[in-house]
Amino acid sequence: MPWTQNYAALGNNLGLTALVVSLPIFYLFWALAIKRMKGHIAGSTTLLLTIIDVVLVYKMPVGLALSASVLGILNGLFPIAWIIVTAVFLYNLTVEAGQFDIIKSSIASLSNDRRLQALLIAFSFGAFLEGAAGFGTPVAITGAILIGLGFEPLYAAGLCLIANTAPVAFGGIGAPIIAAGAVTGVSANIISAAVGRQLPFLSVFIPLYLIILMAGWKGAKEVLPAIAVSGTTFAVAQWWSSNYLGPMLPDIISSLFSLLSTAILLKFWKPKNIWRFPNEKGQKVEQYKKYSGGQILKAWSPFLVLTILVGIWGTVGFKTFVTSQLKWFVNIPHWPGLDGLVIKTMPIVNKPAIYAASYKWDFFAAAGTAILITAIITMFILKVSPARGAKVAGATLKTLVYPTITIGSVLGFAYIANYSGLSYTLGLVFAQTGHFFPFFAPVLGWLGVFLTGSDTSANALFGQLQNVTAQQVGVNPVLTIASNSSGGVVGKMISPQSIAVAAAATGLVGKESDLFRFTLKHSVFLLLLVCIMTYLQAYVLQGMIPKIAGILPTIASLIH
């Protein structure tokens, strides 16, 4: 017999229900930020606590809760953990083949300065990987590269997480914006244009913020030309492409524009001082050996192949060919013990609707598989024997056991939060803030990404709620739908899923709590900026955001 979600289960009191079902979230914050638990322990205990909570509060059948958790765990293992395993394997292969010294030398030829290396790798190259693949790929790859260059692991991971703010809304070839359009019925191109009139302000600011975080204001002033070129070119290209080309290409275009512009600048301009981390003071700046163009091309070939393959894998045409023409996937269209057994109700949906549950093991079309194929090609290019490759693969798997547990448990938590109605209860609380709803609208996206690890999932969760609530309070719904995505991007850096990915890629397994503490204050600060911007665009700068015609007034009544 189907079970119906009840968003105000405790005495028909939405606020009380929200407070009680938030306990697992408070626990997770406490476990990571205060208790400093290891990620796999914090994630596993949070999942267990959430199961108990939703069963007691919502009276969710135990079988449904367990089935939703298992489905989430499987989605954590594939495709998320699959990306991390293959990305770290690819990086380890370049190290095993002795090519990473050449990569370091080629980057150092542009600049030995840690500030400029962060701009090139963490910000620009990371944004490209986010646009092409998403799902943790940029943090895994760029974090490993920065460590290879000499960055401390905590700084490498933290900087990559913060740098990954600007491109997230358009990541995975525009998947978050496309998802928002699908659940709201608003054109994805209109939502893309709206997000493109919010995020460029962050895109200009993030490079400056990164360098101030690394080197202070004095250190940032020394490289202001590079900061300005890196951030401004990215922001302008992001605004133009999101407004005139739609949601699929902004990250690819803006990241390449930023990367090339900054590299060209560094051919003609250098900072007066080479900045290094405090622990490197007194150390002689490493003098890298000069290599030929052919040697540099060979060393970078794994990442050039990766760029080509993830670009192909990210296209709609390729995915359609693999799934529709070749049918290379394993599909479970009706997940046992869950599909057809949960009913979503108003005001989350216009009328009671079945919450479907399925699982697709889409192995060949997954971004992780593109990285694996890159790794295999790399073995041929770099002449790594199968025996050496297998040894590297075994060592990689051994180091990623605990991060995989963390990711699986976090996705289990995310899925049970959705199927129990926990996410919707919290969303409805924010929806009751009335005139101030535009200020809190980004918080919904931030919370959604924290819960799920994905801006795409956060838009699927709260996109329609943003749409309906905005109409009820008399605000342009395009603004709040867009702000859900814009708020979500600054939640990415503290999502337990993202923390687990970054920790795994940078050798910080067991120190996820340190990384969470590193990024938390920055996430909250950047969220506040997005909230203020959204509020101003709602009531002061209304002309900045595109509008849609023909909104039915009757839809607004759903919120009551």
Q: pLDDT, tens digit, for every residue of 116-129?
A: 999 999 999 888 87
Between 100 and 95, the more confident residue is 95
Give the chain's mean pLDDT.
Answer: 85
pLDDT above 50 (res 552): no
pLDDT above 60 (res 233): yes
pLDDT tens digit sequence for 130-141: 876 666 678 888
Per DSSP bridges, beta strands 353-354 and 342-344 are antiparallel
Note the pLDDT of residue 149. Answer: 83
Indicate the SS3 state at residue 23.
Answer: helix
- Cα–Cα distances (Å) from 309 to 133, 318, 547, in that order, read 10, 11, 37
DSSP class of residue 456 equals H
| Mean pLDDT lowest among 51-55, 306-310, 337-341 | 306-310
pLDDT tens digit sequence for 431-481: 788 889 999 999 988 988 887 777 877 777 677 778 878 877 888 989 999
Confidence of residue 390 (pLDDT cuts 50, 70, 90): very high
Residue holding tokens 């295999």?
376
pLDDT above 70 (res 378): yes
pLDDT tens digit sequence for 164-180: 888 888 886 677 887 77
pLDDT above 80 (res 559): no
Cβ proximity of 480 and 437 under 8 Å: yes
Confidence of residue 558 (pLDDT cuts 50, 70, 90): very low
pLDDT above 60 (res 147): yes
> Which residues are bridge partners to 331 per DSSP?
360
Crossing angle for the helix pair 171-184 and 188-195, to the nearest 10 degrees? 120
Q: Round to whole Å and give the CA distance between 280 and 293.
A: 29
Structure tokens at 348: 């989350």
Structure tokens at 544: 């900045």
| Mean pLDDT lowest among 77-86, 216-225, 282-291, 522-531 | 282-291
Mean pLDDT along residues 66-73: 93
Indicate the SS3 state at residue 4.
Answer: strand
DSSP class of residue 288 equals P
Structure tokens at 437: 């709803």
pLDDT above 70 (res 287): no
Mean pLDDT along residues 241-267: 88
Note the pLDDT of residue 284. Answer: 65
Confidence of residue 283 (pLDDT cuts 50, 70, 90): low
Domain ranges of the chain: 3-283+291-559
Note the pLDDT of residue 133. Answer: 60
Note the pLDDT of residue 555. Answer: 31
Note the pLDDT of residue 116. Answer: 94
Between 286 and 244, the more confident residue is 244
Question: Count of alpha carbons within 13 Å of 424, Cβ hemisphere only?
Answer: 27
Q: Round to whole Å and give the CA distance between 274 and 285.
A: 9
Mean pLDDT along residues 256-278: 90
Confidence of residue 560 (pLDDT cuts 50, 70, 90): very low
Element (H, E) at 401: helix 401-420
| Mean pLDDT lowest among 84-88, 89-93, 234-238 | 84-88
The model's pTM is 0.75
Note the pLDDT of residue 507. Answer: 82
pLDDT above 50 (res 527): yes
Residue type, 370: A
DSSP per-residue string spanning 236-249: HHHHHHHHHT-SSS
pLDDT above 90 (res 510): no
Note the pLDDT of residue 557. Answer: 35
DSSP class of residue 124 equals I
Mean pLDDT along residues 102-116: 82
Note the pLDDT of residue 282. Answer: 65
